[in-house]
């Protein structure tokens, strides 16, 4: 199989550092607020990476982190007048809950910055000893970018170019403006830990380097995250880790695209952030994944007003055919292995979910045709689809239950409702001839009517 490597800017044959085993780390969420669609997108992408690698026979250890202390978290905690660690714990609980609602599986390892302070301090001490970092008089510690000749290898930026678009803090305390903080001295009233440089807390970039080393050692196979992390976060991770160990930190760097909303970059300042909890109030986990994975993971995803409703409509149509096949052929257990082989071929080309999902339309068109012919192969195809596409989180539900809960309800025309109400009145008056006449009229309008204790139910023919 081939994976696109952001470091070399090309697809490469995947060969792990140790045969049969994969060490994979994806940067998780800074818990300064609730989970949004961008967080879900990244989590879904790396969950499917893990599952497909396992399907290919690899033993995968997949780690994600929570950044649970930083400037934004401290600021939000102050706004709510609670301790920063209490605020972070609450956010993690909320994020975990909504990720479970979205049916996104957890990694093998959860890593938190606040649980790795000792590892972070040790990492910084070693960098200082090797001449790659220096403490400032104000209690901060900085990475010396000039000590790392390979700096810029991931982003393609030189040290001077790295200042473009990046906020620079405490210039007077640094050797160079482009040096970055490994340890930040605590301000009055802020959360802190004791260190050789005084009271403080870790910088953002050092967290992932130190947690990676503690969990996996000096090297990993796959390091991932959103494309917005390439610079400065991942560039700085490489500099820290490779300066310390002298080894290549990650063999493959992978990055998912960014989320846009109606063509604009998603951001809090524009007020267009889509909270995951709001999406889960309105759509199924299947529709969420179908919508997000119909795009190549490396490309930006533009979320239009119709994206999720259309995804739900497709999923509902697919589930209705699954339900029909299961009802028509309840004892058919066979499968169509060619579907699974085609899926593996698609996914082996840099996890091409867009192609794998486009295949579904042809498969279900065939199912519809076979159902009309009363051919049990329809059930064999849906059996295989259920098994194969469960890797993407699709078609794992009972079909009838999904349709009752999530299938989009069509708006019934007023003309049809008027006839149905007239028929209801005729039945109340025991005018059966008129009731039958109006039933036929409803059929002509394209609707079947079923009487119930509550009144009636209309179904489109």
Both structure tokens of 51: 């599952």
pLDDT for the residue numbered 159: 79
pLDDT for the residue numbered 171: 66
Using an 8 Å Cβ cutoff, are 381 and 337 in contact? no
Segment 122-149 shows an average pLDDT of 97
Burial of 97 (0-12, 13-18, 19+ CB in 10 A): exposed
pLDDT in tens, 71-115: 999 999 999 999 999 999 999 999 999 999 999 999 999 999 999
pLDDT for the residue numbered 458: 84
Segment 389-414 shows an average pLDDT of 92
Q: 270 pLDDT band (50/70/90 cuts)?
A: low
By percentage, how much of the chain surpasses pLDDT 70? 97
pLDDT for the residue numbered 172: 78
Q: 401 pLDDT band (50/70/90 cuts)?
A: very high
pLDDT for the residue numbered 268: 66
What is the average pLDDT score of the chain? Answer: 94
Backbone angles phi, psi at 12, to 5 degrees: -130, 150
Q: Among residues 145, 143, 172, 181, which one has the least CA distance to residue 160? A: 145
pLDDT in tens, 190-206: 999 999 999 999 999 99
pLDDT for the residue numbered 278: 95
Segment 419-437 shows an average pLDDT of 92
pLDDT for the residue numbered 459: 80
Q: Among residues 370, 405, 404, 406, which one has the least CA distance to residue 385? A: 370
Q: 455 pLDDT band (50/70/90 cuts)?
A: confident
Segment 353-368 shows an average pLDDT of 98
pLDDT over threshold 80, residue 272 = no
Residues with Cβ < 8 Å from 441, sequence gap 6 or more? 419
Q: Which segments of 193-330 does DSSP mark as H helices, in order?
A: 204-216, 235-245, 276-282, 285-293, 307-328
pLDDT in tens, 161-189: 777 655 556 567 899 999 999 999 999 99
d(CA 169, CA 173): 9
pLDDT in tens, 333-345: 999 999 999 999 9
d(CA 449, CA 460): 9
Using an 8 Å Cβ cutoff, are 98 and 35 in contact? yes
Both structure tokens of 325: 């096949």
Segment 11-38 shows an average pLDDT of 97
Q: Is this structure's pTM higher than 0.95?
A: no
pLDDT over threshold 80, residue 351 = yes
pLDDT in tens, 48-63: 999 999 999 999 999 9
pLDDT over threshold 80, residue 225 = yes
pLDDT over threshold 90, residue 460 = no
pLDDT over threshold 80, residue 324 = yes
pLDDT for the residue numbered 409: 74
Using an 8 Å Cβ cutoff, are 120 and 143 in contact? no
Segment 346-370 shows an average pLDDT of 98
Both structure tokens of 349: 């080309």
First to last CA, the chain: 46
pLDDT for the residue numbered 64: 97
Give the chain's largest Cα–Cα span.
Answer: 96
């Amino acid at each position: 199989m081939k994976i696109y490597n952001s470091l070399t800017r090309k697809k490469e044959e995947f060969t792990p550092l140790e045969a049969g085993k994969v060490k994979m780390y994806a940067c998780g969420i800074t818990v300064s607020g609730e989970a949004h669609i961008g967080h879900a997108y990244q989590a879904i992408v790396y969950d499917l990476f893990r599952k497909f690698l396992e399907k290919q026979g690899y033993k995968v250890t997949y780690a994600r982190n929570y950044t649970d202390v930083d400037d934004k978290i401290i600021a939000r905690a102050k706004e709510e007048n609670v301790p920063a660690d209490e605020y972070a714990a609450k956010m993690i609980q909320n994020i975990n809950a909504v990720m479970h609602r979205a049916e996104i599986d957890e990694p093998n390892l959860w890593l938190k910055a606040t649980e790795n302070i000792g590892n972070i301090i040790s990492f910084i001490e070693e960098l200082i000893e090797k001449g790659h970092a220096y403490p400032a008089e104000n209690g901060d510690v900085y990475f010396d970018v000039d000590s790392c000749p390979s700096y810029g290898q991931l982003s393609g930026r030189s040290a001077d170019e790295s200042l473009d678009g990046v906020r620079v803090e405490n210039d007077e305390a640094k050797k160079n403006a482009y040096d970055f903080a490994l340890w930040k001295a605590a301000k009055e009233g802020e959360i802190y830990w004791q260190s050789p440089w005084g009271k403080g807390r870790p910088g953002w970039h050092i967290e992932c380097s130190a947690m990676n080393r503690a969990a996996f050692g000096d090297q990993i196979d796959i390091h991932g995250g959103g494309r917005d992390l390439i610079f400065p976060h991942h560039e700085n991770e490489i500099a820290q880790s490779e300066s310390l160990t002298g080894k290549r930190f990650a063999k493959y760097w992978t990055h998912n695209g960014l989320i846009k909303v109606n063509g604009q970059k998603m951001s809090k300042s524009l007020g267009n952030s889509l909270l995951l909890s709001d999406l889960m109030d309105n759509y199924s986990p299947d529709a969420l994944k179908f919508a997000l994975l119909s795009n190549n993971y490396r490309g930006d995803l533009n979320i239009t007003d119709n994206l999720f409703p259309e995804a739900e409509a497709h999923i509902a149509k697919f589930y209705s055919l699954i339900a029909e096949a299961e009802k028509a052929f309840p004892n058919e257990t066979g499968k169509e292995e060619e579907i699974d082989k085609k899926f593996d071929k698609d996914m082996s080309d840099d996890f091409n979910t867009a192609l794998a999902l486009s295949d579904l339309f042809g498969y279900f068109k065939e199912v519809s045709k076979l159902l009309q012919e009363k051919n049990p192969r329809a059930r064999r195809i849906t059996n295989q689809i259920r098994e194969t596409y469960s890797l993407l989180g699709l078609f794992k539900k009972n079909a009838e239950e999904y349709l009752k809960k999530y299938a989009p309800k069509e708006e019934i025309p007023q003309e049809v409702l008027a006839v149905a109400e007239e028929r209801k009145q005729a039945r109340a008056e025991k005018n059966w001839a008129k009731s039958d006449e109006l039933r036929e009229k409803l059929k002509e309008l394209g609707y079947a009517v079923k009487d119930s204790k509550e009144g009636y139910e209309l179904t489109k023919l």
